[in-house]
């Protein structure tokens, strides 16, 4: 019986090639999109699954409030470690102090490469189950050693044995390679861990780290932990909550609360707002999950519409089968079998499409997803997916077709009833509602990104280059280098900064000033800078002046941004002083010499933070910032700068970044969402149009005779074209009317998460509406015009 | 004395067409014995097809009694009714109504599939049928590749494959030329001799004469026998 059904299904497919193509292509594209989204979601949900202990690993996080706003983050002070070990050691399998993920130069022979990694305490290897391929698993217990990932070991030593090799770190320290570990995959939070060095070494070699042993106020470190199996994150969190407050009463005014942030939340739920976890990437998972479902739904709607539209052709078969003994259930089963077959075929094509497009998709989504050939789970889900799709697409046609009365069908008087097209119309409206809503949503996302890109950055990002100079060989060379860079003609200005132009590495408080409100808990973005800061960055001075060599006192001067002035509630700031709140402090009061316009350093979606730019006098220099010479080409400038650099630092690789590119990184994640959304919206439109095309050809075929008669009676081609197209246009207009308010509502909500945001303007709707109408017209007109221009004599004779 | 195959007792069919009630079959009383060959005659629209469809259980009477092989069809559940006609009734249509996507062989085989006949047995039965109708050479052709007469032969073969007691034929030769008509009618009378009960609707006196009994319908009533 099944064989008989399959035979019929196959022959039907072959007989109606256009119809089959539309059905299978639509379903295949829809399924491919859904599979890609499914793989993407799976990858997102399995971020950090490399770590078998994912459920028991956590990072220490801290809430701190100032001016009644709670900030949350991973930075913790060093003494927390000692208190934690003393008071709560028995709750933990591991407590591990760690540095941030920094890049350092690792040199061997004439190679010197820039590598990111961490300094961590012993136990890290055990906790993260880092797979040590050769050498000592317990390397971190020692001091002058380094563990390298396989990739880095191969880059440095080629096929030579890495163990026992001596390498230079930042051209300063020589350490021994004592272990090589398997590279960590991309989709985990430690993917930047390409070397591992002992925490001990960090403390021993970095003066400021050594000195921070008792500084509860110096939140400059990270701490990871693995809890014991017999306890939970919540229990431990509740125990350690007040550990900092108890041990450091002087910090109590910020109400510091320490808690465990579980690894399973790191990637997906990493957003905090005023002390409350507010989500994160999980929202994109939902977003694309919904889009994927919609696209599949669109493809199923095509199937449903085309099957029911063609029902008159299948009606006779239903009548015959009923008259020779088929029950309705058997017919339902037959039609479901048919949709199952088509869905299976479509799935095979979908797999092909996925394989062909996976590379491009990975680029777009910046992922490294591979097709899961060997995954049993995937194939089980695939079978479930095929069944769901087959039932979704096939149920309605099966119920509808099997319901025909054999007598009326076989009498030949069968005409699908007057309202039989209604469900079809509703489905077309649904399809276009979804497509149009997706168009509007994508446009709003793109607008928001453009809007934020157009936001004045407050400085001149173009022609600005930064060179990281954190190793000690650069110490004290900044004035010499400035002279040489400018003399080389490659740069017109240079200044130094303690953090890159595109982020804030230090936030500070503990100041006072004339007119400071009672109990005000200030917190400034704190950057130390040098002469020509204003000129190099192209900042706009609102009041006062920049740092100048003409004023010896500028070594104790500060420049504020506009927001800081408002924030401090200080009148006529220029000439006033900012001094330490603590009267015992030896900090020399800072004279405010100027106010600059706000410059976007952090997120382009949020208001600019109050910032102070303090004159550099302690050698805290992380970057040289150079304004390229506008009279030369960029490449010429870079050549001059590199030559100058090389003459002075022959052993250090010349590393630099364009500030505008770094700035562009801030839009990366939104742009990624936007480009994925664009692709899937295009697919949704394509699938909907494919269905519309099918319906249009069906209607044109059905009305061939009518068109012939009208033509003989004198109807013009354009009249016939309008006749055949207007029904579809009406449906799409209806879809526009439904989609617009829904999209408006949803996208206004989405925009709320960006403090700096665009509005959902009428232009977005205009573009979406006109676009949808044009596409619809093109799609249906093809069939309409073909039918309208056909020779009427021919079509009438076939009756 | 032959057994009664079916009997209609004041069987009526009315339908609602708009606001009016239309009576399609009006108090039909009819006894059919096994082995009869009945011709239904009457002008177009007199209700021949309606009567055949109701007897064949594709449609239902809306009033009166219908007994088939002693079982009360009018009070039967859909499922049992379907079992009954699957087992005992075969249809032959004026427009043949073969399934276009199936070959001759497959068309004839289909009723057996619905009766859950085993594959090996099916092969034998279909082969016998093809043999008997001399269409072995056509078994892999599709309906569109056959002439009308050949299609109707296949239609009859399909009706016969389930070994029905009753064949209902609605103007079986209506689309055929006279030579083909004669062949089909000869075939019917041959079948009838073998014991199959036949009820045919026809316009043609000549075709009606093959039957053992003629019933005239007019406006849904039996006017004469
Ligand atoms: N479902 C129905 N609703 C209304 N009228 C019907 C229906 N089926 C058949 N008729 C009408 O009943 C009459 C008898 O039809 P039919 O049995 O096909 O006649 P015949 O086969 O004798 O030509 C015709 O007038 C036909 O139009
Ligand atoms: Mg008739």
Q: What pLDDT shows up at residue A143? A: 92
Interatomic CA distance for residues A53 and A181, integer angstroms? 18
Residue A335: CB atoms within 10 A of its CB come to 23
Tell whether the torsion through CA atoms of A422, A427, A430 and A432 is positive or negative: negative
How remote is the CA of residue B208 from the centroid of ligand 2, in Å?
A: 15
> Please, which pLDDT band fits residue A285 given cuts at 50, 70 and 90?
very high
Atom of ligand 1 nearest to the CA of B52: 17
d(CA A687, CA A299): 6
pLDDT digits (tens, 9 = 90+) for A381-413: 999 999 999 998 899 889 988 988 888 888 766
A94 φ/ψ angles, rounded to the nearest 5 degrees: -140, 140
Nearest to B82 among A4, A8, A325 (CB): A325
CA distance A685 to A434: 9
Sequence-distant (≥ 6) Cβ neighbours of residue A440 within 8 angstroms: A739, A740, A743, A744, A747, A760, A764, A765, A768
Question: Helix/strand/coil (H, E, C) string of A563-584?
Answer: HHHHHHCCCCCCCCEEEECCCC
Place of tokens 């014995």: B33
Residue numbers in B near A15 (CB within 8 A): 101
A171: number of Cβ within 10 Å? 16
Who wins on pLDDT, A140 or A312?
Answer: A140
Min Cα distance A315 → chain B (Å) is 11
Q: CB–CB of A407 and B93 under 8 A?
A: no
* Ligand 2 mean position, distance from CA B51 (Å): 9
CB contact under 8 A, B114 and A407: no
Asked whether the CA dihedral B158, B160, B162, B168 is positive or negative, the reply is: positive
Gap between the Cα atoms of A83 and A353, Å rounded:
56
pLDDT band with cut points at 50, 70 and 90 for residue A711: confident
Instruction: Examine the domain organization and report whether A297 and A235 are in the same domain.
Output: no
Q: How far apart are CA A309 and CA A779, in angstroms?
A: 18
Does the pLDDT of residue A797 top 80, yes or no?
Answer: no
Instruction: Provide the sign of the torsion angle of the four alpha carbons A488, A489, A491, A492, taken in this order.
Output: positive
- Start-to-end CA distance of chain B, whole Å, equals 20
Instruction: Give dist(CA A95, CA A92) in Å, integer.
Output: 7
Q: Are A643 and A687 in a shared domain?
A: no
Nearest atom (ligand 1) to Cα of A411: 18
Structural domain includes residue A662 = no
CA A121 from chain center: how many Å?
31
pLDDT at A656 over 90: yes
Chain B residue numbers with beta carbons less than 8 Å from the beta carbon of A403 are none
- Cβ of B59 within 8 Å of Cβ of A407? The answer is yes
Taking an 8 Å cut-off on Cβ atoms, the answer to whether B97 and A411 are in contact is: no
CA distance linking residue B160 with residue B108, whole number of Å: 9
Instruction: Say what the pTM is.
Output: 0.84
Looking at the structure, do residues A101 and A232 belong to the same domain, yes or no?
yes
Closest C-alpha among A202, A194, A242, A247 to residue A221: A202
The pLDDT of residue A415 is above 70: no
Residue A794 has pLDDT above 80, yes or no: no
Please name which of A525, A531, A565 lies closest in space to residue A547, comparing C-alpha atoms: A531
* pLDDT computed for residue A718 by the predictor: 85
* Domain hosting residue A545, numbered range: 472-651
Mutate to test the interface with B, among A12, A16, A320 (most CBs of B within 10 A): A320
Percent above pLDDT 90 for chain A: 64
Say whether pLDDT at A494 is over 60: yes
| Among the ranges given (A322-336, A467-481, A522-536, A707-721), the one the predictor scored with the smallest mean pLDDT | A707-721
Residues 6+ apart with CB under 8 A from A23: A302, A303, A306, A342, A346, A694
Model confidence at B8, in pLDDT bands (50, 70, 90)? very high
Q: Which of A518, A398, A394, A535 is nearest to A459 (CA)?
A: A535
Whether residue B15 lies within 8 A of chain A, CB to CB, comes out as: no
Residue A294: helix, strand or coil by DSSP? Answer: helix
Count of residues for chain B?
A: 225
Joined together, the tokens standing for residue A565 give 């002035």
The torsion of the CA quartet A395, A396, A397, A401, rounded to 10 degrees, works out to 110
Instruction: Say how far residue A405 (Cα) sits from the centre of its chain.
Output: 55
Percentage with pLDDT > 70 across chain A: 98
Q: What is the pLDDT of residues A6-53, one digit of tens each?
A: 888 888 888 888 888 888 999 999 999 999 999 999 999 999 999 999
For the cut 70, the answer to whether the pLDDT of residue A782 exceeds it is yes
Q: Is B24 in the pocket of ligand 1 (CB under 6 A)?
A: yes
A323 → closest Cβ in B58, B100, B102: B58
Of the candidates A427, A368, A443, A373, the residue with the CA atom closest to the CA atom of residue A764:
A443
Q: State the Cα–Cα distance between residues A635 and B103, nearest whole angstrom.
A: 75
H or E element in which residue A711 lies:
helix A704-712
> Which spans in A476-627 are helix H?
478-488, 533-537, 562-568
Which residues make Cβ contacts (< 8 Å) with residue A208, sequence separation at least 6? Answer: none
Measured CA to CA, the distance from residue B176 to residue B169 in angstroms comes to 14
B216 vs A705, higher pLDDT? B216
| Banded pLDDT at A125 (limits 50, 70, 90) | very high
Which of A9, A314, A324 should we substitute to test contact with B (largest number of B Cβ atoms within 10 Å)? A324
**Interval A579-607: pLDDT, tens:** 998 888 888 999 999 999 999 999 999 99
Of A317, A325, A411, the CB nearest to B115: A325
Question: Percent of chain B, pLDDT > 70?
Answer: 100
| Contact assignment for A411 to B110 by CB distance below 8 Å | no
- Examine the pLDDT at A666 and tell me if it is beyond 60: yes
- Confidence check on the interface: ipTM exceeds 0.90, yes or no: no
pLDDT tens digit sequence for A335-379: 999 999 999 999 999 999 999 999 999 999 888 899 999 999 999
C-alpha A403 to ligand 1 mean position (Å): 21
Beta-carbon contacts below 8 Å between A and B: 62
Give yes or no for residue A793 having a pLDDT over 80.
Answer: no
**Using 50, 70 and 90 to split pLDDT, how confident is the model at A799?**
very low
Are residues A242 and A332 both part of a single domain? no
Q: For the residues A502-507, what does the mean pLDDT come to?
A: 88
Does residue A714 register a pLDDT over 80? Answer: no
**Do β-strands A111-120 and A195-198 pair in parallel, antiparallel, or remain unpaired?**
parallel
Assigned CATH for B4-224: 3.40.50.300
> What is the DSSP-derived secondary structure letter of residue A76?
B
Domain end point (choices A238, A266, A294):
A266
CA-CA-CA-CA dihedral for A335, A337, A338, A341, to nearest 10: 160
The total domain count for chain A is: 3
Q: How far apart are the first and last CA of chain A?
A: 35
Alpha-carbon span A393 to A302, nearest angstrom: 8
B54 Cα: distance to centroid of ligand 1 (angstroms): 12
Ligand 1 centroid to residue B70 C-alpha, Å: 28
For residue B94, the ligand closest to its alpha carbon is 2
Residues near B45 by beta carbon (within 8 Å), at least 6 away in sequence:
none
| Nearest CA-CA distance, residue A417 and chain B, Å | 15
Residue A789 clears pLDDT 50, i.e. is over it: yes
Distance separating alpha carbons of residues A139 and A132, to the nearest angstrom: 10
Torsion from C-alpha of A558, A560, A565, A568, nearest 10 degrees = -60
Average pLDDT, rounded, for chain A: 90
Q: What pLDDT does B101 receive?
A: 86
Mean pLDDT of the residues in chain B: 91
- Predicted local confidence at residue B92, as pLDDT: 93
Query: Does B47 contact ligand 1 (Cβ within 6 A)?
Result: yes
Locate tokens 């309705």: which residue?
A: A328
Q: What is the pLDDT, as a whole number, of residue A796? A: 61
Put simply, the answer to whether B91 touches A412 (Cβ < 8 Å) is no
Cβ B48 vs Cβ B74: under 8 Å: no
Residues 157-196 of B with CB under 8 A from A: 158-159, 162
Closest alpha carbon to A613 in A541, A571, A568, A561: A561
Residues of A in Cβ contact (< 8 Å) with B171:
none
- Cβ distance B99 to A406 less than 8 Å, yes or no, reads no
Q: Is the pLDDT of residue A725 over 80?
A: yes
Integer angstrom CA distances of residue B27 from A103, A120, B41, B54, B73: 99, 99, 17, 13, 16
A128 in any annotated domain: yes
Residues A540 and A566 grouped into a single domain: yes
Q: What integer pLDDT is reported at residue B86 of this predicted model?
A: 85
State mean pLDDT over A756-779.
91
Whether residues A233 and A375 fall in one domain: no
Residue A239 domain-assigned?
yes
Cα B64 to averaged position of ligand 1 atoms, centre (Å): 19
Does the CB atom of residue B42 touch ligand 1 within 6 A? Answer: yes
Tell me which residue has its CA closest to atom 21 in ligand 1: B49
Q: Which residues surround ligand 2, an ion (CB under 5 A)?
A: B 49
pLDDT mean over A420-442: 90
Residue A404: per-residue pLDDT: 87
- Residue A103 forms beta bridges with which residues? A116
Q: Do A567 and A594 share a domain, yes or no?
A: yes
CB A419 within 8 A of CB A719: no
Facing A15 at nearest CB: one of B53, B98, B101: B101
Averaged pLDDT, B18-27:
90
| pLDDT for residue A523 | 87
pLDDT for the residue A708: 79
Both A293 and A234 in a single domain? no
Looking at the structure, tell me whether residues A69 and A198 fall in a common domain: yes
Please, what's the b/e burial string for A394-406 (b: 16 or more CB within 10 A of its CB; e: otherwise)? bbbbbebbbebeb
In a domain, A479, yes or no: yes
pLDDT for the residue numbered A418: 58
Q: What is the pLDDT of residue A423?
A: 87
Give residue A416's pLDDT.
Answer: 60
Question: How much is the pLDDT for A795?
Answer: 61
The per-residue pLDDT for A475 is 85
Same domain (yes/no): A423, A547: no
Cα–ligand 1 centroid distance for B219 (angstroms): 10
Same domain as A705, residue A622: no
Nearest Cα to Cα of residue A247 among A97, A80, A400: A80
One domain, residues A490 and A623: yes
Element (H, E) at A771: helix A762-789
């Amino acid at each position: 019986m099944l064989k008989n059904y399959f035979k019929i299904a196959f022959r039907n497919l072959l007989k109606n090639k256009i119809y089959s193509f539309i059905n299978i292509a639509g379903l295949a594209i829809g399924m491919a999109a859904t599979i890609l989204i499914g793989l993407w979601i799976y990858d997102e949900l399995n971020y950090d699954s490399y770590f078998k202990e994912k459920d028991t690993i956590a990072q220490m996080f801290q809430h701190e409030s100032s001016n009644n706003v709670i900030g949350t983050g991973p930075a913790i002070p060093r003494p927390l470690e000692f208190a934690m070990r003393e008071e709560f050691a028995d709750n933990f399998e591991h407590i591990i102090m760690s540095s941030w993920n920094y890049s350092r130069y690792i040199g061997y022979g004439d190679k010197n490469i820039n590598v990111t990694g961490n300094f961590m305490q012993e136990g890290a290897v055990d906790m993260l189950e880092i797979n040590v391929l050769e050498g000592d698993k317990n390397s971190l217990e020692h001091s002058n050693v380094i563990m390298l990932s396989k990739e880095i070991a191969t880059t440095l030593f080629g096929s030579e044995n890495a163990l026992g090799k001596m390498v230079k770190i930042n051209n300063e320290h020589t350490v021994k390679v004592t272990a090589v570990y398997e590279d960590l995959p991309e989709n985990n939070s430690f993917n930047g861990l390409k070397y591992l060095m002992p925490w001990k070494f960090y403390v021993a070699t970095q003066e400021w780290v050594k000195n921070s042993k008792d500084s509860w106020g110096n939140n400059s470190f990270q701490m990871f932990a693995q809890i014991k199996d017999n306890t939970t994150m919540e229990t431990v969190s509740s125990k350690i909550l007040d550990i900092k407050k108890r041990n450091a009463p002087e910090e109590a005014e910020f109400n510091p609360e320490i808690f465990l942030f579980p690894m399973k939340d790191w990637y997906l739920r990493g957003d905090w707002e005023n002390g409350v976890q507010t989500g994160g990437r999980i929202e994109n998972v939902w977003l694309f999950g919904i889009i994927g479902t919609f696209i599949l739904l669109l493809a199923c709607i095509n199937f449903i519409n085309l099957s029911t539209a063609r029902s008159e052709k299948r009606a006779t078969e239903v009548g015959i089968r009923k008259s020779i003994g088929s029950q309705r259930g058997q017919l339902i089963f037959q039609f479901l079998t048919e949709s199952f077959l088509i869905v299976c075929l479509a799935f095979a094509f979908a797999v092909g499409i996925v394989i062909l497009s996976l590379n491009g998709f990975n680029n777009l989504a910046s992922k490294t997803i591979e097709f899961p050939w060997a995954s049993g789970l995937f194939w089980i889900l695939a079978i479930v997916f095929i069944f769901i799709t087959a039932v979704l697409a096939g149920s309605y046609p099966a119920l509808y077709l099997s319901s025909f009365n054999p007598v009326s069908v076989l009498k030949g008087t069968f005409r699908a009833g007057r309202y039989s097209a209604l469900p079809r119309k509703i489905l077309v409206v649904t399809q276009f509602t979804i497509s149009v809503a997706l168009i509007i949503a994508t446009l709003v996302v793109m607008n928001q990104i453009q809007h934020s890109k157009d936001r004045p950055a407050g400085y001149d990002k173009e022609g600005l280059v930064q060179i990281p100079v954190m190793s000690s060989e650069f110490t004290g060379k900044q004035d010499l280098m400035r002279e040489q860079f400018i003399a080389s003609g490659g740069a017109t200005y240079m200044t130094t900064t303690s953090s890159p132009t595109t982020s804030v590495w230090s936030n500070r408080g503990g100041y006072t000033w004339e007119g400071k409100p009672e109990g005000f808990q200030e917190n400034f973005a704190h950057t130390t800078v040098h002469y020509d800061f204003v000129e190099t960055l192209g900042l706009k001075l609102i009041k006062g002046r920049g740092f100048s060599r003409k004023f010896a006192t500028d070594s104790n001067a500060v420049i504020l941004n506009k927001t800081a002035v408002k924030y401090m509630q200080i009148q006529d700031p220029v000439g006033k002083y900012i001094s330490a709140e603590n009267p015992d402090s030896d900090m020399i009061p800072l004279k405010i010499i100027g106010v600059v316009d706000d410059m976007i350093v952090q997120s382009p979606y949020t208001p600019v933070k109050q910032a102070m730019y303090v004159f550099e006098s302690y050698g805290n220099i992380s970057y040289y910032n150079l304004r390229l010479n506008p009279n030369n080409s960029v490449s010429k400038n870079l050549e001059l700068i590199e030559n100058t650099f090389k003459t002075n630092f022959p052993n250090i690789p010349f590393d630099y970044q364009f500030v505008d590119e770094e700035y562009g990184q801030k839009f990366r994640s939104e742009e990624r969402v936007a480009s994925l959304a664009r692709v899937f919206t295009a697919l949704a439109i394509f699938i909907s149009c494919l269905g519309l095309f099918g319906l249009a050809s069906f209607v044109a075929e059905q009305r061939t005779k009518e068109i012939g008669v009208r033509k003989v009676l004198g109807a013009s081609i354009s009249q016939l074209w309008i006749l055949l197209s207007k029904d579809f246009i009406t449906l799409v207009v209806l879809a526009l009317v439904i989609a617009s308010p829904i999209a408006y509502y949803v996208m206004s909500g989405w925009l709320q998460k960006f403090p700096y945001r665009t509005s959902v303007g009428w232009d977005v709707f205009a573009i979406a509406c006109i676009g949808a109408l044009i596409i619809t017209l093109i799609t249906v007109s093809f069939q309409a015009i073909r039918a309208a221009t056909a020779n009427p004599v021919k079509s009438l004779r076939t009756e | 004395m032959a057994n009664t195959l079916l009997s209609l007792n004041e069987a009526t069919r009315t339908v609602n067409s708009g606001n009016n009630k239309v009576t399609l079959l009006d108090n039909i009383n009819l006894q059919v014995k096994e082995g009869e060959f009945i011709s239904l005659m009457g002008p177009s629209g007199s209700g021949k097809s309606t009567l055949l469809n109701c007897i064949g259980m594709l449609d239902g009477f809306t009033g009166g009694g219908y007994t088939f092989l002693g079982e009360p069809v009018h009070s039967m559940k859909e499922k049992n009714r379907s079992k009954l006609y699957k087992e005992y009734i075969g249809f032959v249509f004026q427009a043949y109504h073969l399934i276009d996507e199936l070959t001759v062989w497959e068309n004839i085989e289909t009723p057996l599939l619905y009766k859950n006949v085993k594959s090996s047995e099916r092969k034998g039965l279909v082969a016998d049928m093809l043999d008997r109708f001399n269409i072995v050479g056509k078994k892999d052709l599709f309906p569109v590749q056959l002439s009308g007469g050949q299609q109707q032969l296949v239609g009859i073969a399909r009706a016969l494959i389930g070994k029905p007691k009753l064949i209902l034929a609605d103007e079986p030769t209506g689309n055929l030329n006279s030579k083909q008509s004669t062949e089909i009618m000869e075939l019917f009378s041959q079948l009838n001799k073998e014991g199959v009960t036949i009820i045919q609707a026809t316009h043609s006196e000549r075709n009606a004469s093959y039957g053992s009994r003629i019933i005239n319908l007019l406006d849904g009533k039996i006017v004469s026998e």
